[in-house]
Structure formats: C-alpha cells, structure tokens
Amino acid sequence: MSGENIKTDEEMNPAGPEMIFVQGGTYQMGDSFGDGGSNERPVHQVKVDDFYIGKYQVTFDEYYIYCVEMGKNKPKDEGWGTGKRPAINVSWNDAADYCKWLTKKTGESYRLPTEAEWEYAARSGGKAEKWAGTSNESELGNYSFYDKKHGDQTHPVGGKMPNGLGIYDMSGNVWEWCSDIYDEHYYKDSAAENPNGPDSGWYRALRGGSWNNYAWNVRTTTRQGKYPVYHSNNLGFRVARTK
C-alpha cells in the first residue's frame, strides 16, 4: 500500500482519507451462493447510486487525531501496536461521531456505508464474489487476514491484495460498522433502491468478519448486529461519502 493519504498521528491530509470511487449499479444482494445464514436471504435485487468508500479501514493513526482534537479517550490496542493497524475497540457511536468530525474538518460529507453499499463494494461492484477479491477459498489467504492464520491479532491495513475495485481488507482483519440498524429479517422488506435499513431497532450492522473468524464468517454477504455501544478487539470501521 502507498499510505499516501494516511498520515501519522501528528497530521492528516486536509483532503481526508484515501477514497475509492464506486460507480453505482444494480446487483443481487444476499446469499447468492446458497451456503449463508438465514439473515442473508432472500436474495433480492438492489440498486445503489454512485458513492465513495475508504480504500482502507480507519487506522489508529487517523483515529487518534480525532481523539486528541475532541478530547476523547484513545481506544486500547491490546498491546498489538497502533500506527497503520485498524482502529479497534471503537463503538458504532464513536465511529459515527468520527464521521461527523471528519466532515467538519474536511468540508466533505463523510458517513458510515450502508449495508447495501458495503456489500456492493466488497463484491467488486456487485459481482458474484464470495469473498472480497475471490470466490476460491484456496486463494482467500491472498486477500484476507482471517482464522488467526497470521497471528492472534489485527494487522496493518493494506497488507493483502485488494479486491477488484482496489479496496483492501473487506474480508477479514476487523469487522466493520455500517450505518444501518440491523434486522435479521430486513431482506424480506428491503427497499429496492438505496436501502438503508429498518427505521427502528436496537442493533447496528456489522460486515466483513475479522482476523479470528473462519472463512465462512469473512464472506461478503455475512452480516450480524451489535448494540451501538459495543466495542471489541476485532471490530473497526471504514468511512464512505456520497458522490
């Protein structure tokens, strides 16, 4: 990875983090391979508009700038190191607040991606792609930190191959918060265009799986939910922006 737009904890590029433009389109969202969980069904057609998504998961270097400027406690790194590793132990509330801060700092409208945007981007633009970058499990290790295969911890972002859109770590390394309220049955009633989740509920959506999950859990369609105050050493986030 170049690290060109990912700065140290002393400075941040005023243009914001490095983003990938994702041309919108229509795709079949959900368990198109037929081996996922019931919360990934029914498979349904979804249209998403153009958007931008972070090339990398938000790093400790980036997140610590926010903590210092906003007087927030820095999340623990579990002794694994900070720098270019993904920021962990960050709740949904914290991630959403980071996006608000980044919006004010840069003048661009940052936010968390919706589940539909996240999956579309992870699947290299809505392709039938089981993992971000491949559908062949024998190749998964080229794209993903998963199943503790590279040590029992997170890893610096961008250390594996990107998917077809040039986005890194969308399968594994850390789970990622999405903006949506999570409902395991939402796909039955999902909007056909730019869905952004149900109107009410207790949980927020997580995507992507992590360093300590099996291959099944780092699939592009895997989804789960946690309380917005929840935080963990295998959970982080990446930002998105409307075109």
Q: Which pair of structure tokens corresponds to residue 76?
A: 């623990």
DSSP secondary structure letters along 121-189: HHTTTT-S-SBTTBS-GGGGGGT---TTBTBSS---TT-S---TTS---SSSSSEEEEEEEE-TTGGGT
Structural domain includes residue 182: yes
Domain that holds residue 77: 19-242
Question: In this structure, is residue 13 part of a structural domain?
Answer: no
SS3 226: strand
Q: Per the domain annotation, does 177 fall within a domain?
A: yes
Decide if 3 is inside a domain. Answer: no
In the chain, how many domains are there?
Answer: 1
Answer whether 171's CB lies under 8 Å from 208's CB. Answer: yes
Distances (CA, A) of 125 to 2, 98, 129, 165: 23, 26, 10, 7
d(Cα 78, Cα 9) in Å, to the nearest integer? Answer: 18
The counts of H helices and E strands in the chain are 3, 10
pLDDT for the residue numbered 167: 99
Q: Among residues 140, 143, 191, 204, which one has the least CA distance to residue 29?
A: 191
Backbone angles phi, psi at 188, to 5 degrees: -70, -25
Task: List the one residue out of 113, 101, 64, 112 whose CA is nearest residue 84.
Answer: 64
Q: What is the pLDDT of residue 150?
A: 80
60-to-14, 45, 151 alpha-carbon distances in Å: 17, 36, 19
Torsion angle in degrees (nearest 10) through CA of 93, 237, 69, 51: -100
pLDDT at res. 28: 99
Q: Are 193 and 168 within 8 A, CB to CB? A: no
DSSP structural state of residue 40: G
Residue 14: inside a domain, yes or no? no
Task: For residue 108, tell me if it sits in a domain.
Answer: yes
CATH number at residue 186: 3.90.1580.10
Contact 192, 47 (CB under 8 A): yes
Q: What distance, in Å, lies between the first and last C-alpha atoms of the chain? A: 24
- Identify the H or E element spanning 193: none
Residue 1 lies in a domain: no
DSSP character at residue 236: E
* Crossing angle of the two packed helices 92-106 and 60-70, in degrees rounded to 10: 80
Q: Could you state, in chain order, the average pLDDT of each consecutive group of 10 residues for the chain (243 residues)?
A: 35 76 99 97 98 99 97 98 98 99 97 99 98 98 94 96 99 99 98 98 98 98 99 99 91
- The bridge status of strand 235-236 relative to strand 175-182 is parallel
Amino acid found at 168: Y
The answer to whether residue 9 is domain-embedded is no
